[in-house]
Chains A and B, each alone.
Chain A
């Protein structure tokens, strides 16, 4: 649906590449809205143990009791009773792509998922609305004891391991949206990497919302045992609808002694999706947790991936990109909490706003009482592409010890006429030139990505830039 105009609508390219939807008949769809009956129905559909239903119902109480946050973005317009909380697209989960219903497979083909799986991934999960339609890990990793399942299957197949960690990092009472997720969660990834096992190629999950007024509430739990390593990557897109959808995930990660976990997100929801996600990791002795968090899509994102450094030698790395275009608000950032002594953290945030969009950094550096010789550096850079756009920086510090080193640096710059002219004077058209400047601005983060994702990232940036100039 290319229109023959000089200036494209914002994210016109998104409409073509990601914004389509399938007309499928789901095997089950809960009625609109949320109450105890809906929660019971979801749990029954999943044939869950009693404790999980109790967990869900308790969480629902928390959700109903907690007020909406009054800071961050505007969440007051979310109509919780207009949302579908559970949609099961298909009866069986595919073990091969041929098992996946043709319409749904076509969607993932279009998004390039099976191709990526062949080329550079250790395993793939694909979630479509509420359920995972495909899940697979390479055999050699499974043989080494690596578990990579959708979270519901993990509850069924590894009930003890599951119950030991589930809900321990982010309790349902943590915040309103974590409570909501805990009540209605469905899908997501469960990963366990045994001691000393290094998963060389990334594991990837792709989250696709298809239905209108859909709520997607995946729940991810990752346990990286001592000395192990894993890189998990998630991507997401949704059709463009006139009415809003809601995505509210909870991600819990445990990184044990000497282990390392990298979690990369390329968030590319359509502009009608509220993206309200709670992500938190606990890193133990000499462990490293890295969040690479790129937010390009959605109507509103509120997401602050956190690392609690629980034991000496733990290290946290948060690299955050927020790109807000017309009508978008990206309230992104991160939290590093130094619970133990001799822990280090590094936060780099790059935010870009254009066409009246609002992007920013909201972050917390906390050093707990008794945690000494900790080191933290925070760097936030904002790039404004025009006069109408807005950038916010909210750096919070709670430092309860003196013998620590905490650094914070922030810059705000506007895309320079001289930079644009310089690139254009070499024959590069204006929109492409602006895209290059933005790609350069976030390069300190994209260079950390595997090559395929760096390329994808720059493609998405270019897509965001389309239609901006002219």
Chain B
């Protein structure tokens, strides 16, 4: 990657779901080391953005480009994007019965390492140590590694498991899709502390949320307001507070004006 190439650059992105246009010309650039929050009301296209960034086949890019480390990744499959260093923490993580968290993460990590030129899998002992360390970070019991992915997990366990995967796979850009939804205050704090511990110059975060609440724990560098498929307002952390105080109608009104 040449210096000066943005890590994630989204230009004029239009996305349709089952023929219905949801994103209508979204522009956004996220660099490593930055935390961006995207806020928006229900139906504004937040989850569509998250899914489109990872290449979910149901989300059709009809116009515009997504560049990751300089490459136009529009035609790439989800697994290619992930191996290159994109990550999505799902709003509703799917259960995979019969597949343990540890086995799944071992395979995912191996796929990612291959991409980074490391042909050999991490020795089992080191892998177990890595899992243990990251699970401790998220205050997860050791037995968690042996459970089936998201199968019978509580809401809090699901979100922690997402951040655990992020911790093990070390992406360059992580998209967190409403990671705060459905969490009580303790779970929210644990998840937020986990994200903060992983943040740093090597990670860019795109935090998608409906509520300002999580931003009390994770300090964004930039806040963007998404309404009807476009970013209508951008600013610093203070924008989130304004939104919280005045509601999304305020942005809609200022747009109209």
A residues contacting B by CB (< 8 A) are 416-419, 421-430, 432-433, 436-437, 439-444
Contact = CB atoms under 8 A, between A and B. Distances in A.
B257 to A, nearest CB: 40
Interface in B101-141: 104-105, 107-108, 111-112, 115
B82 A426 contact: yes
Interface stretch (B2-10, B39-47, B88-96, B234-242): B88-96
Nearest to B54: A425
A439 B112 CA distance: 21
Contact of B99 (A418, A424, A439, A444): A439
A84 B112 CA distance: 52
24 contacts: A416-B94, A417-B57, A418-B94, A419-B94, A422-B93, A424-B77, A424-B78, A425-B54, A425-B79, A426-B104, A426-B108, A426-B111, A427-B83, A427-B112, A428-B111, A429-B79, A436-B107, A437-B96, A437-B99, A439-B99, A440-B148, A441-B97, A441-B98, A442-B98
Nearest to B85: A427
B58 interface: yes
B90 A427 contact: no
B93 A427 contact: no
B169 interface: yes
A444 B108 contact: no
Contacts of B105: 426
B57 A433 contact: no
Given A417-B58, A428-B107, A439 B98 contact: yes
B161 to A, nearest CB: 11
B157 to A, nearest CB: 16
Contacts of A444: 98
Contacts of B81: 425
A317 B167 CA distance: 42
A424 B104 CA distance: 11
A436 B115 CA distance: 20
Nearest to A422: B94
A379 to B, nearest CB: 14
Contacts of A424: 77-79, 82
B165 interface: yes
A417 B115 CA distance: 24
B18 to A, nearest CB: 13
Interface string B162-185: 000100010000000000000000
A426 B85 CA distance: 9
Interface of B: 54, 56-58, 77-79, 81-83, 87-88, 90, 93-94, 96-99, 104-105, 107-108, 111-112, 115, 148, 165, 169
Contacts of A436: 96, 99, 104, 107
A430 B80 CA distance: 10
A58 to B, nearest CB: 48
A323 B77 CA distance: 27
Given A430-B77, A432-B107, A433-B79, A425 B97 contact: no
Nearest to A438: B98
A430 B79 contact: yes
Contact of A425 (B88, B99, B107): B88
Contact of B96 (A423, A425, A429): A423
Contacts of A416: 94
A361 to B, nearest CB: 18
A444 B148 CA distance: 12
Given A416-B94, A426-B104, 16 more contacts: A417-B57, A419-B94, A421-B57, A421-B94, A423-B96, A424-B77, A425-B54, A425-B78, A425-B90, A427-B112, A429-B77, A430-B79, A436-B96, A436-B99, A436-B104, A437-B96
A418 B87 CA distance: 16
B99 A443 contact: yes
A417 B56 CA distance: 9
Contacts of A437: 96, 99
Given A421-B57, A422-B90, A427 B82 contact: yes
B213 to A, nearest CB: 26
Contacts of A432: 107
Chain A CB within 10 Å — which of B82, B99, B148 has the most? Answer: B99
Contacts of A429: 77, 79, 111
B115 A427 contact: yes
Nearest to B58: A417
Contacts of B97: 440-441, 443
Contacts of B104: 423, 426, 436
Chain A CB within 10 Å — which of B57, B108, B112 has the most? Answer: B108
A443 B98 contact: yes
B212 to A, nearest CB: 27
A13 to B, nearest CB: 19
Contacts of A428: 79, 107-108, 111
Chain B CB within 10 Å — which of A424, A426, A430, A432 has the most? Answer: A426
Nearest to A432: B107
B50 to A, nearest CB: 10
Nearest to A381: B97
A459 to B, nearest CB: 14
A246 B94 CA distance: 43
Contacts of B115: 427
Contacts of B98: 439-444
